[in-house]
Structure 1
Amino acid sequence: MLLPLIVACGAACDGESEADLDELEAPADDEVEVRSLTLEPNDPLYTSGQKWHYGAILLPEAWWLSTGSPAVTIAVADSGKLPHSELTWAGGYDFFAGDPDPTDPGDYHHGIHVAGTIAAIGNNGVGGAGICWNCQLRPIRVAQSGGNAQVGDPGMNEPTSTLLARAIRYAAGLPTDNGRGQIVQASSRADVVNISIGNLPSPCPVDLRNAVDEASAAGTVVVAAAGNGDSGTTWPPSPDFDASHYLWSKCQSPDLIVVTAVDEFGNAEPYALQNNAVAKYAGITIAAPGGSAVNGQAGQGALIGCPPDPSQTGTHGVVSTWIPYGQTTPQCHRHWAGTSMAAPHVSGVVGLMRARNPSLTVPQIKKILVKTAKAIPCVGCGAGMLNASGAVKASTLTLSITCESTGGGGYSCLPSHTGLGPWTAVWQGVQNAAVNPTYATNTAVTYGNCTVNTQARVRATFTDALGRTAIAEDSFQCSQLPP
C-alpha cells in the first residue's frame, strides 16, 4: 500500500483522482491542458538528490497522472541483476553467458544504477524513487566488466552488437538464439527496453538494425544512450574523432529513440558529443538529464550510504541505486553521470505513458516524446529536453465541454482536453441549438444561438495529431436573460 502522498496544490486537491482531472482543466489559447498538479514521493534521496533531475523533466506533474503499473515491464539490457532492496526484478536472461540466470558476476554494476532510475520502489520512505516506480524490471545481461568471465561464453566470442540484437528480440517477446545454438523466448513482451551501452565504435550491423525494427513492430520501444565522448577516446576528442562511426548513429530505425545528456538548464554536458565541435553526433532523438561531469568526464559520482571511496567525488549526478565495485553488498546509492544515466529517464517515462494508455503504438510514443519536448539551448540535442508531464498527459485523448447561455438566445462552449496538438474540432448543435459557422471548427471556443426557454444541447468532436478522436456533449438551459 502506498504511503500518504504530498500534493503540491494543497487541500484544494483533496479527493481528486485521475478521473476528476477534467473538472480542473481550463482553456489556454488553442491548446488546452490539465492544470499542473504535482505528486512527490516521501523518499529521502528524492528530496536531497533526485529533485534536480526529476524536476528538470517535470516528473512530479507526470506522477500526478501515473506512477506506473505492474502490468508494464521495462527491460534493462545491461550488466545484469543483483539483489537490492529498492529493485524488484522479474524474469530475464543472460545473453553474455547464454543461460537463463541474468545475475551480474562482474565488478562494474552499471545496470543496477540504470535500473534504479527507471523503476526503483518509490514513496516507501527509504532511499530514492524510480521514475516508473510501480513498473516491473526485466534484467537482460549483455555485458561484463571484470570478474571471471568464462572462455566459452558467447560474450567472450561475439560482438556486443550481436548480444544486444538478441537482447532486444528477447525483450520484445520474440524467439532468438541464445548464443549456444538454442532458441529462447520471453514469456511476455516488454513495453520498453533500455540500452545504456552507446559508445561502441562500429557501424550498425544488419542483425542489430533488424532486431530494432522487429521489436518496434512487436510493440517494444527501444531506447538507447548515445554514448559519451570521453569513453574509448582522448578527452577532449581529437580533431580526427568521428562520432558518426558510433553504433547508434548508424542504426537509425524510424522508431529507435537515441538519448543524449544535458544539465537541468538544457545545456549539453561536457562528456556529451554535442558539446564538442569535432564530435557532433547525428541521429539524437531527445535529451534528458545525465548528471554533471567531474573534470569534464562522466562517472566519478560520490557514493551515498556506501563505504567511502575518495576517488568518487561528483555530487550533482543522477542519484540512483548502487552496489560498490567488485562487491554484491552493501545495497546503497550514488551520484553518477553519463548518457547512460540520461536514457533511463526516457525509458521510465515511456513506462508511465504505457501505464496510462497501454494501446499506444511505438510510433505514437516516439511522436509524443518529440512533439512535447521542451526547447533547450543545446544544439544537436534532437527535439529538446524530455517533458514527462507533457508526454504522459498526451498519452490519452480526453475531452469534455462546458456550455452556458449568454442571454438573448445565445450560448458559448469551452472545451477541456488532453492529447497531442494540434487538434481539429467540429461543433454541432444537437438539440435546440445552432453553431455560428465562424466558430464551427474553432478549437478554443464556440458560439451559437439557441431556442429561448428550452433545454439545448451541443456536441464537440476533437481529433488530435495522432488521429485519435473524442466526442463530448453538454446540455444547458437557453435563457433570454444574461447569466
Structure 2
Amino acid sequence: MSASAQAELSKRFIVKYPSANQMSTLSEQGFNVQAEQQRLLQQQGIEYQRSMMMADYHVITVSADNEQQLQQRIDEISNSNAVVSIEEDRMMRAFFTPNDPRYADQWHYFDQQAGINLPAAWQQATGDGVTVAVLDTGYLPHEDLMANILPGYDMISDEFVSVDGDGRDGDATDPGDFMAKGECGDDYPPQDYPSSWHGTHVAGTVAAVTDNGVGVAGVAFNAKVVPVRVLGKCGGYTSDIADGIVWAAGGTVEGIPANRHPAQVINMSLGGGGACGDITQQAINFARSKGTTVVVAAGNSQSNADNFTPGNCDGVINVAANNINAGTAWYSNTGTTVDVTAPGGEWSIVNDPNGVLSTDNAGEQGAEADAYLTKQGTSMAAPHVAGVAALMYEKKPDITPDELEQALMDTTKAMTDNCVGCGTGIVDADAALSSLDDDPVGEPGSVTENITNGFYATWSTTVTVPAGMSALEVAVDKTQFFALGRGELTVSHSNGSSCTADITYSKGSCSIGAPAEGEWTVTFKAIGWNSNLKMIASWK
C-alpha cells in the first residue's frame, strides 16, 4: 500500500470523555468507564495521542485497511458509554489569495452568491497535471497565459475563414477574426465587427498564469491548455470542429500529426441553431470513450437551449450563464438540456466590470498590445466549468465524464431568481471537489444462482461487488439432497485478483479479502457430470 493510500485510511479524532460527575453516575450504574476506555485504546488501529488543555478532551488516531473497517472502528468509539463525543481533528490551511493585481476584479471566482467558490477549492486542487483543450479562435502569446500553453493545431481548412491563408497547420495562434459588414453572406455581420480574441479570453479563464504579480488569475492555473483553432472569420465549419474534438482527445485525424498532449477536458464556447449533427455526436462519443469531459456553452440567444448545438448533444456538460447578482444573465439560453450555470457576466457598457475579466488584446483587427478586458456570454461561463473539471481530474484522475458531471450537478448553489432551465444551479468548485472525498461504501449482500446441469460443462456468471467491502466469498453447494458435483471454481477480477477452490462432493468455496469494486467473474468447470448445484456469492 502506498503512503498516500495509507494516509487516506488513517484519521485523527478529538474525543470527549465523561466528566467526573458523569463517571460517578455511570459507576453507580455498574459501568467501569476507565476500563472501557482502556479497552477501546487497546483495540487494533486505535492509538492515543495526547490530552488537550480543555478538561476531558483527548486526541486519538484511528487507522484501518479500508473505508468500511475505518467507519466500523469510529462507530464503536462513538457508541461507547465511555465516550461523550467524537469529532474529526481536521487539517486547516490558510486560504490562498493570488497576488495578481486584477484578481480583486474577478468577482466571478469569489463572490459568495454569484461566484464559483474558488478560493476554498484551491486548497484542494489547482489543476496540476491536467490538460484542457480550448476549441476556439486560437490563442495569442499573452504574457499572463503563454507559460501554460502547449502545442496546439489550426484545424481550419477554408482559407477565407482561416484568415492566415495557409489552411490547416501546427500554428494555432489567432490572426484575428475581424469582419466587415456583410462579408460573410446573408447580410452578416450587420455591421463591422472587430477581432474578438475570443480564444485568448476563454483560455485565460481556464488557466491564466496565477500568483505571478501580473494581471489576472485562472481557474485551474496549474493546468495546461492545448489551443485548437476551429473558429475564424465568420465562424467555423462543423467538419473542422468535429475533427478538432477527436484530435484534442487523442484520436487520429488524417494528415495531421497526433496530439502529444491528449486533453482530459475539452471546452467549446461555440455553437449554432439546430439539432446535434451525427458527426458532432460521434466526435463527442469518441472523446468520452477516451475519458474526456466535454464542456459546451449553452448560447446567447435568450432562447431554448434545446435548439442549439453542440450544447444539445448527448454526453456534454451544457452551461448557462449567471450575472453578478446570481440570477440568469439576460442573454443566456436556458432549457432542459442545460446541466449547470456559471458566471457569464452582464454588460451595460463596453468592458463593464460586471462582465468576466480575463486575458485579451487591444487590437481591432490584428493583434496589438496585451490587455485585460471583460466580456459577457455563456462563452465566458463554460471555461469556468472546464477549469473546475480540471481541478476535479487532478484530485481524482480516474473520474469518468459521467461521474464528473453528476458531481458538479449535485453540488451547485441556488440562483437568486430560481431559474427553471439553468440546470441545477451555479457551480460550486469547492463543494464539487469535496464530494470526491465521499467514496461510497456499499451494503453487504449476497446472490444465489443455479448452475446449469451438464457433462464436463463450463458454467460462468458475473457478480457485482459494491465499494468498501472487506470480504467476498463464493461457494458451490447442493440445491437438493441428491446432487453431483466435482470440478474447479474460479473467481476473478479484471485487476488480476482471483481465488480458486476444488469442488468435491458438491461443495467448496474460496474467498477474497478487500475485494475490488465492480464485476467479478465466477466460473465452474465440471469434471464429469454435474447436477443440482448452486453458486452462492456473499460480500460484507
Which interval holds the TM-score relative to the shorter structure? 0.5 to 0.7
| CA separation of 1:42 and 1:243: change in aligned 2, threshold 3 A | closer
Instruction: Show the counterpart of 1:68.
Output: 127
Which residues in structure 2 correspond to 1:151-166 (within 5 Å)?
Answer: 160-166=237-243
In structure 1, distance between residues paired with 2:101 and 2:361: 19
| CA separation of 1:375 and 1:84: change in aligned 2, threshold 3 A | same
Identity %: 35
Tell me whether 1:245 sits opposite 2:333 in the alignment.
no
Instruction: Show the counterpart of 2:342.
Output: 288
Instruction: Show the counterpart of 1:387.
Output: 428
SS at structure 1 position matched to 2:122 = helix
Instruction: Show the counterpart of 1:210.
Output: 282
Instruction: Show the counterpart of 2:262.
Output: 189
Shift in Å at residue 121 of structure 1? 0.5
Tell me whether 1:175 sits opposite 2:255 in the alignment.
no
User: CA offsets per residue over residues 422-460 of structure 1, 9 Å max, x none?
Assistant: x998999xxxxxxxxxxxxxxxxxxxxxxxxxxxxxxxx
Instruction: Show the counterpart of 2:107.
Output: 51
Which residues in structure 2 correspond to 1:77-476 (within 5 Å)?
Answer: 77-87=135-145, 88-96=148-156, 97-106=167-176, 107-145=195-233, 160-177=237-254, 182-198=255-271, 200-229=272-301, 243-251=305-313, 253=314, 255-274=315-334, 281-294=335-348, 301-302=350-351, 314-324=352-362, 325-376=364-415, 377-397=418-438
Contact preservation (8 Å) 2:202, 2:380: yes
User: CA offsets per residue over residues 104-131 of structure 1, 9 Å max, x none?
Assistant: 1123210011010000001111111001
Contact preservation (8 Å) 1:132, 1:351: yes
SS at structure 1 position matched to 2:341 = strand
Structure 2: which amino acid aligns with 1:44?
P
By relative contact order (CA 8 Å, sep 6+), the higher-ranking structure is: 1
User: CA offsets per residue over residues 7-51 of structure 1, 9 Å max, x none?
Assistant: xxxxxxxxxxx9999659999xxx99987963221111111x103
SS at structure 1 position matched to 2:220 = coil
Structure 2: which amino acid aligns with 1:191?
Q
In structure 1, distance between residues paired with 2:342 and 2:14: 28
| CA separation of 1:51 and 1:250: change in aligned 2, threshold 3 A | closer
In structure 2, distance between residues paired with 1:205 and 1:244: 13
User: CA offsets per residue over residues 171-203 of structure 1, 9 Å max, x none?
Assistant: 1000124xxxx25421232110110003x1132
For the aligned residue pairs, the C-alpha RMSD in angstroms reads 3.4
Structure 2: which amino acid aligns with 1:267?
G
Contact preservation (8 Å) 1:270, 1:293: no
Contact preservation (8 Å) 2:175, 2:366: no
Contact preservation (8 Å) 2:226, 2:261: no
| CA separation of 1:301 and 1:60: change in aligned 2, threshold 3 A | farther
In structure 2, distance between residues paired with 1:99 and 1:59: 36
Structure 1: which amino acid aligns with 2:344?
G
SS at structure 1 position matched to 2:409 = helix
In structure 2, distance between residues paired with 1:74 and 1:242: 28
| CA separation of 1:317 and 1:242: change in aligned 2, threshold 3 A | closer
| CA separation of 1:57 and 1:20: change in aligned 2, threshold 3 A | farther
TM-score w.r.t. structure 1 length? 0.63
In structure 1, distance between residues paired with 2:110 and 2:10: 22
**What residue ranges of structure 2 are gaps of 5+ in the alignment?**
1-6, 16-73, 75-86, 157-166, 177-194, 441-465, 472-513, 519-540
**What residue ranges of structure 1 are gaps of 5+ in the alignment?**
1-17, 147-154, 231-240, 275-280, 295-299, 303-313, 400-422, 429-461, 468-483
In structure 2, distance between residues paired with 1:125 and 1:385: 29
SS at structure 2 position matched to 1:114 = helix
Instruction: Show the counterpart of 2:495.
Output: none
SS at structure 1 position matched to 2:133 = strand
Contact preservation (8 Å) 1:95, 1:166: yes
